[in-house]
A and B are shown apart, each in its own frame.
Chain A
């Protein structure tokens, strides 16, 4: 689980870099449907899920860090 937690932010970066690549390619040739095909739509959904997961994980960690000093007091 910890390893997965470490991997997901990397996956998020990689997926979004690839999405940026597809956006540029779509500008060059929109008829190839880089962003509008079914596969692309699934990919975008995956990006959203991984992005949200990363964000939630970050928020949870931040909250834990904030809680620790309070417990020590």
Chain B
């Protein structure tokens, strides 16, 4: 009997000792994979929260680097008015020297900054507005719609722009000042800035690195791996590959605007670059926005619609560069694209943005300068 009990006890003890083993039964492979997938989802969600959601929620509290005014003292405002008399003709009023026979007055050399005279045939004395154009004594804009006959149709809009002064060509931050993740409806941005014509910018509000100048104010001065585009105070626009410039050299030339998205599209001969500083997906077929340069005072904005079935597929970066070369541009630069690509004219979208566009951090715009401004 005792023996039996002992056996029973032993069995019970054995069962008790097995109980925790049962509890700690090994998980099946399926359970392990499910557990890991849940962990992956948790990590991705946490990352998205910390990387995107919280910074966007805190957009108002982020203090960007203080802008430094780098405008040259004799800025562009001198251009539109009457061209100054050549220095050789100026005589001091109290000159005591005896009068000499005046030499024949030399032919005044045209002021390269006098764009009003240079492009006089494009401007009008009064403001004239149509559904696709705007002309005034300071600005001439003409927007044309084209449909390319590539494999897939692409609809694009070319805004040909002449300005009498560089100040007619400006940029504007959403909310009025540079703040990280501060974005606004591009139509509202254009309205706030008093823009006649505007296109989306380079998504600079999402970044805290690079070389960034807007309306003569320097925000950041850092060399990056991206191409840049500089619009100088003399009206020339130059694009640089990532390894083709030095920050101090570009700043020494007195830039008015510097964009940092890219890639640069044309080479020094105005032909498409042999290779583009862009990753595969960015080079692929997409809606696009670009800025073109013909000569000081003469620029163009190009917006390509895309991702919209039979209406417009978009363009590859190479085709986009070819488009600027065909337009006769000397330099061209790719700005933010995709859903961001918008062209706003007279307070409304001129193109058909993909999914009705998205909020923009900054815009490039053409506007009239009011008296006393600048």
A residues with a Cβ closer than 8 A to B are 10-11, 13-15, 17-18, 21-22, 27-34, 37, 39-40, 43
Contacts and interface: CB of A to CB of B under 8 A. Distances in A.
A21 B44 CA distance: 9
Interface stretch (B32-40, B215-223, B240-248, B302-310): B32-40
Contacts of A34: 51
B279 A27 contact: yes
Contacts of A17: 40
Interface of B: 32, 35-36, 39-40, 43-44, 47, 50-51, 203, 206-207, 261, 279-282, 336
Contacts of B281: 27-29
B84 to A, nearest CB: 44
B279 A11 contact: no
Contacts, number: 43
Contacts of A29: 281-282
The SS class assigned to the B binding surface is: helix
A30 B51 contact: no
Given A14-B40, A21-B44, A31-B207, A39 B50 contact: yes
B207 A18 contact: no
Contacts of B336: 31
B261 A31 contact: yes
A29 B51 CA distance: 14
Nearest to B52: A32
Contacts of A43: 47
A7 B282 CA distance: 39
Closest 7 A-B residue pairs measured CB to CB? Answer: A28-B281, A14-B39, A14-B40, A39-B51, A18-B43, A39-B50, A27-B279
B51 A14 contact: no
A29 B36 CA distance: 27
11 contacts: A10-B35, A10-B36, A11-B39, A14-B40, A18-B40, A18-B47, A28-B279, A31-B206, A32-B206, A39-B47, A40-B51
